[in-house]
Amino acid sequence: MLILLLLLLIMGSHCSASSDTLERLRGTGVLRVAMDPSFPPFEYIDEANTIQGVDAELAHEIAHRLDVEAQLVTTNYDGLYDALTVGRADVIISGLYPDPARTADFTFSKPYFNAGQVLVTLAASAEREVADLAGKPLAVIFGTTGHMVALHWEETLTPPPTIITYEQPAEALAALADGAVAGAVLDNVSAQMALVRGGNYQVTELPTSVEPYVIAARRQDAALIKEIDNILSELQEEWLLKALLEKWLQ
């Protein structure tokens, strides 16, 4: 009986803390967002010394739908979680991967972007799946996850693809455009930027590479993350999230 009472008290305190957070935000009218503005096009400082990018605009839109204002709290990437711990920020929106090692202290939203590796081919080409690359030249960026994925294909496809390494996504895309390779394995940020810039490409997501960007808060602020999840769902249903990504990936 005593153990049951203790569990009820703990659960009640967590619910109260989460509820108190939402009430405090609406009381102060401010959502403090930790962000490392060194990752364009998701967050960067422009010539007017203003933080711009996907995550900056997403932060302002989420705050608007919570009926508060967004206050962007800048820090380096290694200090993002510290900003939550010491109470400098309420959430992190900064090209953040969910860290399984931090789930005891922090909670994460649903993904709003998959930055994982994708296969890029020319829009008119017959290569639309991984199996279509057998025996063909394939561009990868040296040392990336995509490079490792391609090395696996080298072992499993018959005949194996010929892997050609490049240092930058632009070089791999140029080789693809010139017909030097049949496909290129790139991170989804680079691939989507190429699409939005008018490149004659098609993109196929790789099932082996999922690198989601999420929003984080302290574990006791789970109710806040639940509200943010609802907002992200609204943005997806209204196609605003897609429009926001396309706008900044240009």
Per-residue pLDDT tens, the chain, 250 aa: give them. 544 443 444 444 444 445 577 888 888 999 999 999 999 999 999 999 999 999 999 999 999 999 999 999 999 999 999 999 999 999 999 999 999 999 999 999 999 999 999 999 999 888 888 899 999 999 999 999 999 999 999 999 999 999 999 999 999 999 999 999 999 999 999 998 888 787 789 988 886 778 999 999 999 999 999 999 999 999 999 999 989 988 888 6
State the amino acid at position 242 in one-letter form. Answer: K
Rounded CA-CA distance 7/139 in Å is 55
The answer to whether 168 and 144 are in contact (CB under 8 A) is no
Can you say whether the dihedral through the CA atoms of 43, 48, 50, 53 is positive or negative?
negative
* Torsion angles phi and psi, residue 57, rounded to 5: -70, -35
Q: How far apart are CA 64 and CA 42, in angstroms?
A: 19
* CA torsion, ordered 150, 214, 79, 72, to nearest 10 deg: 130
Instruction: Tell me the β-bridge partners of 30.
Output: 69
- For 51-133, strand residue ranges (E) read 51-52, 69-74, 91-96, 106-108, 113-114, 117-122
pTM of the model: 0.82
Spatial CB neighbours of 113, under 8 Å, sequence gap ≥ 6: 54, 188, 212, 213, 245
pLDDT score of 19:
56
Is residue 212 classed as helix, strand or coil in its secondary structure? strand
Residue type, 173: L
> At residue 249, what is the residue type?
L
For 81, other C-beta atoms within 10 Å of its C-beta total: 20
Q: Which domains does the chain have, with CATH numbers?
A: 2-114+213-249 (3.40.190.10), 117-205 (3.40.190.10)
Q: Minimal CA–CA distance to 33: which of 106, 98, 84, 100? A: 84
Distances (CA, A) of 31 to 26, 43, 63, 64, 90: 9, 17, 6, 10, 6
- So what's the pLDDT on residue 13? 43
